[in-house]
Amino acid sequence: MTDTTGICAGRVAVVTGAGRGLGRAHALALAAEGAKVVVNDIGAALDGSGTATGPAEQVVAEIRESGGEAVAHGGDIATSDGAASLVATALDTYGRLDTLVNNAGFLRDRMLVNLDEEDWDAVMRVHLKGHFLPLKHAAAHWRAEAKAGRTPEARVVNTSSGAGLSGSVGQGNYSAAKAGILGLTLVAAAEMGRYGVQVNAIAPAARTRMTEQTFADAMAAPEGDAFDAMAPENVSPLVVWLGSSASAGVTGRVFEAEAGRITVMQGWHPGPTADKGARWTPSEAGETALKLLAESRAPEGVYGAK
């Protein structure tokens, strides 16, 4: 991002899985727009094995070197204690929590007949449970704030995938988890709106550790000054806008984000789309998203919502 507007000035954001890839890009972009950031990452390998403090601490160092404020959190957010400590870190360090970006995840790809129960459980745990528990603890805090007369302008951005929208051969566990995140997003948006909480989801496409083996040469960074269509930083402006107060009124929605394109998903079918052909600024992404939403049909009501 070259142009910044301070769209997140005064806000405190938590990003899970922020040591590398999309999470790192989101954390840096939020900090560049004025947010204080809690950088969560356990430093696991691509398959979820092992831990290391280095990735989160390196991102924190990058933010601080750029003049921002950040703190590292190395807890396992797929446990209740880890998710609770994540929220507590934001509150204890900065006194508030405004934005939660759920991003952590890893892969254990297998064809269904070869997919072990352990691989199913591990992927469901990090993606689906790893979304639910931070959301649960953050939502409990925001509900308490609202009941105390301090209704927040809280934002949650969940991370699904094209695999969750359409399925992906060899990724039954991952596709199921990412589809589950979409359902969780709709329910959370319906339940938490009364407390000042907006919940949306993105289905990003970018070059990360999780995708480089799948797409290989097709996702390689271009040489020279050519637009790097698959850079994870291209997704972050929309995340920044959704995580800011500027996105007021947008909740329970799903966006695909790739390169210079943002698409509002309608019942998991592509709806209105706009392609700049280059990276968006957060303001441009927000203006475009609002125009696209104005052109799209309203989503179906969530069963049981009042």
Task: Give the active site residues.
Answer: 161, 174, 178
Contacts of 197 (CB under 8 A, 6+ apart): 139, 142, 152, 154, 155, 156, 188
Q: Residue 81: left if φ>0, alpha if ψ -120 to 50, beta else—which one? A: alpha
Q: Find, among 159, 194, 195, the residue nearest to 178 by Cα.
A: 159
Sign of CA dihedral 49, 51, 52, 53: positive
Phi-psi domain of 170 (left: phi exceeds 0; alpha: psi -120 through 50; beta: other): left
Residues near 82 by beta carbon (within 8 Å), at least 6 away in sequence: 75, 76, 133
The token pair that represents 22 in the structure block: 């999309």
Helix (H) or strand (E) holding 84: helix 80-94
Spacing of C-alpha 240 from chain mean position: 10
